[in-house]
Amino acid sequence: MKKLLSTLAISISVVLSSAASAKELRSAGAAPEPSPWGQVTNAFVNKVAELSDGALTIKHFHASQLGDEQTTVRQVARGRLDMGIFSNTATSLLVPEFGLLASPYAFTDADQADCVADNHLLATFGDSLDAAGVVPIGWIEIGQQIIFSKDKLIKTPADLAGVKIRTAPTKTDTVYMQTAGGSAVPLGTTDTMPALKTGNVSAVTWPTVYGIAVGYHEVAPNVTVSNHVHQIGSIVVSKKIWSRLSEQEQDWLKEAGAEFKGLRAAVRKAEGGLLGKIAGAGATVHTPTAEELDAWRAVAPVAQKTILAELGGTSEATWESIGKAKEACE
């Protein structure tokens, strides 16, 4: 009996010791769990647990459960939240120059954007993000930004005259829509739908998949596939938290971060599929003609000058670095 009790005591001690040594990180994101971002985040969470054999786990809160991106990204930077999955918009709140990746028509195509992300972003933004209080462990595909309009179809910039249009709370999206002729109203994720429903804005810009996933096409069924921004976001860990992790724990997070590369194919496939689905359900989905697209693109260089001037700081040098990265990827 004494031997049995001794064995049980040792077993319990081992279990308690293991539980005490295990670490759980709290993570936040704006995307709904069924979305491509929600699903790949779950895969990332599972991969961390698998690699660490349960020694390091992540509890992720989907769909802005802990607050909108503006709130949670700042909490991560301050060390009040361990990590997060963030859009370009949210990341640029920490490093405004990061928003230049979402400049209008910045990339020739998706391959160029992928190459820049994989091979040049860490060198371009690593130090700035570190100074802002976060450590990037990967980059994520957010996708193409389009326009949802409540009252009318917006085919060209001329159609934006007199339209109050929600933009991402960044210089890039806001200045571009202002330059195109709209009355831009920068709003975060949780404020936008109420503003659209109450008429404070009559049009919104959102990444295709996110916008459809949360139902913007139901309130604003006139959809223009302008693809005026290709958003690249980030997976970041609080610098305060990162410094407390062992090198092994850091490596688990970095290795698991590769799961997010699967978003590229998933998001791009979903963009076409969802646009077709809402068109079939009665929404008006308009793909600009070559002439209309030229009109949208013509606004970009003019807007970019204003964007760089208003951002100030190191924006000119950062934009030059992005340009060199694009050249290296041709």
| Dist CA 96 CA 172 (whole Å) | 10
pLDDT score, position 11: 45
pLDDT score, position 7: 47
pLDDT score, position 189: 87
Per-residue pLDDT 10s for the chain (330 aa) are 445 445 444 444 444 444 446 899 999 999 999 999 999 999 999 999 999 999 999 999 999 999 999 999 999 999 999 999 999 999 999 999 999 999 999 999 999 999 999 999 999 999 999 999 999 999 999 999 999 999 999 999 999 999 999 999 999 999 999 999 999 999 988 899 999 999 999 999 999 999 999 999 999 999 999 999 999 999 999 999 999 999 999 999 999 999 999 999 999 999 999 999 999 999 999 999 999 999 999 999 999 999 999 999 999 999 999 999 999 999
Tally of CB atoms within 10 A around 221: 18
If DSSP codes are grouped into helix, strand and coil, which group holds residue 212? helix
Q: Which residues pair with 184 in a beta bridge?
A: 165
| Dist CA 256 CA 266 (whole Å) | 18
Nearest Cα residue to 41 out of 4, 85, 97: 85
Note the helical H segments in the chain. 2-21, 36-52, 69-78, 88-94, 110-119, 121-132, 171-180, 189-198, 208-213, 216-219, 239-242, 247-256, 263-280, 290-311, 315-328
- Residue partners of 17: CB distance under 8 A and separation at least 6: none
What's the start-to-end Cα distance of the chain, in Å?
74
CATH class of this structure's domain 24-328: alpha beta
- Rounded to the nearest 5 degrees, what angle is found at the Cα of 64, between the Cα atoms of 168 and 103? 20
Nearest Cα residue to 231 out of 63, 103, 74, 70: 103
Nearest Cα residue to 266 out of 206, 226, 210: 210
Pairing relationship of beta strands 203-207 and 134-149 according to DSSP bridges: antiparallel
pLDDT score, position 17: 40
At position 267, the amino acid (one-letter code) is: V
Alpha-carbon separation of residue 26 from 61, 62, 160, 254, 308 (angstroms): 8, 11, 41, 16, 35
